[in-house]
Every structure is written in C-alpha cells, then in structure tokens.
C-alpha cells in the first residue's frame, strides 16, 4: 500500500500488476485529517496494519545525482558511490542515507555506464519514519517520484522506443525518460501546476515556452548520451484541468504526443475524478513498484 502523510491529508493507493499487462488499482483515495490523532484513526479505518506500506519522498527532501558507475564488486558499490557523491552534498556524507539505481549500459558500448545516486539526510528519513510510527502505519519502503513515474510510463512502451512522461505537481514538475522499463533520465522543472493554473494569456504562454525549452534540452542530452534510446512518445500525466499544455507540446515537438489516461492502463475499482487522479498520480505509480530495495 502506497501512503503519503501530508498536512491535513492521508493519501493512499494499492495496485497489483503482472508484467506489462493491465494492472488493477484496487484502492485509492484521500482521507482528510482535521484533528489531532486523525492519521491514526484513518490508519485503523483502512486496516493499514495489515499491509506492507511504502511512501514517496517530496523532491525537497532528497537529491538525485547521475554518476559514473564504479568499477567495483557489488558488495562495495554503495561505499564507492558514497565516496563519489560526498562533495555533491550540502551536508556531511556521514549524515546521509544513500541508495543507487542502475542505468543500463549501452549494449553497443557507445556511451559510459551511469547510475543514479539517491541521497537524503538521515534526520529527514527519521522524520518520515516517526510520522508513520505515530500513525501506527508499518513503513517498509521509501520511494521517489522518478521511479514511480517510470512505473506508469512502462505501460505505454512498445519495446522499441523510449517514453518521455511529464507531470506537474502543485509546486514542481518532473520529466522522465524511460525505456524497456528502466529509468534513463530524469529532470525536475521549477514550475508547478499552481503557477500554470493561476495565470493566463501571455504569462501562461511564457511558462509553456520554458517547459518546451526544458524538454528540448533533455531530449538533446539523452540523444547524445544514450545512442540506443530513441524517444518515440511524449506523454502528459493527469492534470486537474485542461490548461492547453498538451496542444502546445503537440505543436512544438515532432513526436507522438498524448495524455496519460489511468483507466486505459489500470482496471480501476472505484472511479476517480480528474483532481484526484492528478493528486494521486505519483502515489499510484509508486504502488506499481516491483523492486524490493529500501532507501
């Protein structure tokens, strides 16, 4: 069960999948938390004590760094990665929890072999754990939005070309490039849906232009860095309302563009409105997780 505890809300999602076939979203929703102890009461109502639960970090709470894969035995990998990223952190490496995510090497050997290092401060991780413990929710895994987004993108792959997926949360945006179920590249965008929804006219058009520029830079970079990955689709994740972004992307890229419709790739037990689909999109992606690693 994927859970996030926010100020005033407990969000949850549970999905079951088998390979790349249509998955079943058996539960998803938002419980408002309006009083002290409400999270614990919501946990009891949802019987969360019966589940292994995961949560998703907020972008502000971790760093994602692309590094060269160390040429060391698997048992020494994390130690080598810690040494590589120690000068990239704005805190001491001894205060960091670090995990790694492999980026597949080019089968033709045309590019270097990379990995993603995920780092979060120990006290940040402890705060998440304490919040869940206080609500009596058993927390087993801590995930990140990038891999959650990759999980959804995998349903749209045709096996021969990569998928670019763009999502805007309230205060941030995220572009991921995935291929054959693997995350190859991720780029955060300093624009959120709150900005895009609350402006119009020239200002919104300017923001769209910034988005297009960020996407083009990413596509050019991926084309140079990963010769074996050809991007075939550009998808826009669920939005709370139509703001014209998909049409703008379609007019600016010579790619197949489209919108993620969760009902097309998931058997949804209880229909969700557009706002809920948008809010829960990263959590639904995280609930499709198949790896067993813990940050």
pLDDT, tens digit, 9 for 90 and up, residues 58-75 = 999 999 999 999 999 989
Percentage of the chain lying above the pLDDT 70 cut: 95
Segment 107-129 shows an average pLDDT of 88
CATH number at 36 reads 3.30.420.40
In this structure, are 217 and 278 located in the same domain? yes
In this structure, are 172 and 260 located in the same domain? yes
Q: Which of 111-115, 170-174, 193-197 has the lowest mean pLDDT?
A: 111-115
CATH number at 63 reads 3.30.420.380
In this structure, are 45 and 189 located in the same domain? yes
Segment 119-145 shows an average pLDDT of 96
In this structure, are 75 and 213 located in the same domain? no
The DSSP element (H or E) to which 218 belongs, if any, is helix 201-225
| Residue at 293 is within a domain | no
Q: Which pLDDT value is given to residue 227?
A: 84
The residue range of the domain holding 107 is 59-125
In this structure, are 19 and 94 located in the same domain? no
In this structure, are 145 and 214 located in the same domain? yes
Q: Which of 108-112, 140-144, 247-251 has the lowest mean pLDDT?
A: 108-112
In this structure, are 102 and 197 located in the same domain? no
Average pLDDT, the chain: 92
In this structure, are 71 and 119 located in the same domain? yes
Q: Which residues, 6 or more positions from 184, have their beta carbon under 8 angstroms from its beta carbon? A: 103, 104, 162, 177, 178, 222, 226, 229
Q: If you compute the radius of gyration of the chain from its CA atoms, what whole number of angstroms results?
A: 19
Q: Which of 197-201, 248-252, 279-283 has the lowest mean pLDDT?
A: 197-201
In this structure, are 52 and 185 located in the same domain? yes
Quick: pLDDT tens for 12-50: 999 987 655 678 999 999 999 988 889 999 999 999 999
Quick: pLDDT tens for 194-228: 999 988 888 999 999 999 999 999 999 999 888 88
Q: Which pLDDT value is given to residue 111?
A: 67
Q: 192: buried, middle or exposed (CB in 10 Å: 19+, 13-18, 0-12)? A: middle
Global confidence as pTM: 0.92
């Amino acid at each position: 069960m994927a859970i996030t505890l926010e100020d005033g809300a407990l969000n949850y999602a549970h999905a079951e999948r088998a390979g790349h076939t249509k998955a079943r979203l058996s539960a998803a929703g938002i419980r408002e938390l309006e009083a002290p102890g409400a999270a614990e009461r919501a946990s009891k109502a949802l019987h969360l004590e019966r589940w292994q639960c995961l949560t998703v970090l907020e972008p502000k709470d971790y760093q994602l760094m692309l590094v060269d894969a160390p040429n060391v035995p698997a048992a020494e990998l994390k130690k080598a990665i810690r040494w590589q990223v120690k000068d990239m952190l704005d805190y001491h490496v001894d205060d960091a929890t670090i995990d790694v995510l492999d980026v597949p090497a080019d089968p033709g050997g045309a590019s270097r072999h990379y990995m993603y290092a995920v780092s979060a401060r120990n006290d940040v991780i402890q705060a998440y754990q304490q919040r869940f413990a206080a609500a009596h929710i058993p927390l087993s895994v801590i995930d990140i939005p990038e891999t959650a987004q990759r999980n959804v993108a995998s349903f749209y792959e045709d096996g021969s070309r990569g998928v670019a997926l763009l999502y805007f949360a309230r205060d941030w945006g995220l572009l991921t490039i995935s291929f054959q179920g693997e995350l190859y590249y991720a780029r955060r965008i300093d624009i959120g849906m709150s900005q895009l929804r609350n402006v119009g006219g020239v200002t919104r058009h300017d923001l769209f232009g910034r988005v297009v520029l960020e996407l083009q830079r990413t596509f050019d970079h991926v084309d140079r860095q990963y010769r074996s990955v050809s991007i075939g689709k550009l998808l826009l994740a669920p939005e709370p309302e139509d703001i014209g972004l998909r049409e703008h992307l379609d007019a600016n890229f010579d790619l197949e563009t489209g919108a993620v419709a969760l009902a097309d790739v998931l058997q949804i037990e209880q229909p969700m409105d557009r706002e809920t689909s948008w809010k829960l999109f990263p959590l639904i992606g995280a609930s499709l997780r198949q790896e067993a690693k813990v940050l």
